[in-house]
Amino acid sequence: MTQPKIPTAILISGRGSNMMSLVEAARAADYPAEIVAVISNRPEAAGIAWAKSQGISTRVIDHKAFKTREAFEAELDKALHEVKAEIVALAGFMRLMTPAFVAKWQTRMINIHPSLLPNFKGLHTHEQALAAGVKVAGCTVHFVRAEMDAGPIIAQAAVPVLSGDTAETLGARVLSAEHRLYPAALRLLASGRITCKNEKVHIYQEANDSSVLFSPKVE
Ligand code: GRF
């Protein structure tokens, strides 16, 4: 018997390339999540037009139209309820959530961040990585908490930082890892293989990869 797919809403603010990777992954018959809506807080978000063109239900909830964060979130909550979302995936969604909203979605709202957290929170992560001189960079999928980029870590992917990298070249390498990591992390969550206890994530039946990424590559 096939398991019912978990209705999932994606929240975006911009171009939506991570949203696209989730939508494309979810087309597979055996993928455990179904993308039921793409919601943007910015009317001009390019990702909204793409989602529409794919026949996905879309919604713009412009945060500027609301006096308070709570009022914006009430409208968001209503929209999520209407599409019966059980998981919320933030994909380049540029708003901080209030503690009350986060509490409602404690183990069902995830985000992708373009650094190996807890390093390089906030914006300009690739500039931060280059300034720190790290030789490995990457991305993280985590549960959302009220504090920015601070939730329990679900999954990470690492890429090398190469001599001569700019924020653009490193960012492109990290982004292509994001596009593989986010669908894999959503798969874990939607298939019920993740639990979170004491703010640490435990994964059942994980596929272990014990390979080592050397950066620079060793001879
Ligand atoms: C990604 O790098 C994501 O990690 C970060 O914002 C960027 C959004 O890009 N949170 P896109 O809109 O998914 O293309």
For the chain, which residues make up each domain, given as ranges?
6-203
pLDDT tens per residue, range 122-139: 999 999 999 999 999 999
- For 133, the 3-state DSSP assignment is coil
Instruction: Please state, in angstroms and as integers, the Cα–Cα distance from residue 78 to each residue in 39, 81, 93, following that order.
Output: 12, 5, 18
Query: What pLDDT sits at residue 205?
Result: 87
Fold assignment, 6-203: Rossmann fold (3.40.50)
pLDDT tens per residue, range 67-101: 999 999 999 999 999 999 999 999 999 999 999 99
Ligand 1, atom 6, lies closest to the CA of 92
Report the distance separating Cα 114 and Cα 170, nearest Å. Answer: 10
Ligand 1, atom 2, lies closest to the CA of 114
Instruction: Ligand 1: list residues with CB < 6 Å.
Output: 12, 14-18, 91-92, 112-114, 175, 178
Compute the distance from residue 84 Cα to the ligand 1 centre, in Å.
25
Q: Where are the beta strands (DSSP E) in 41-146?
A: 58-60, 87-90, 109-113, 136-143
pLDDT of residue 188 exceeding 90, the answer is yes
Report the distance separating Cα 8 and Cα 56, nearest Å. Answer: 12
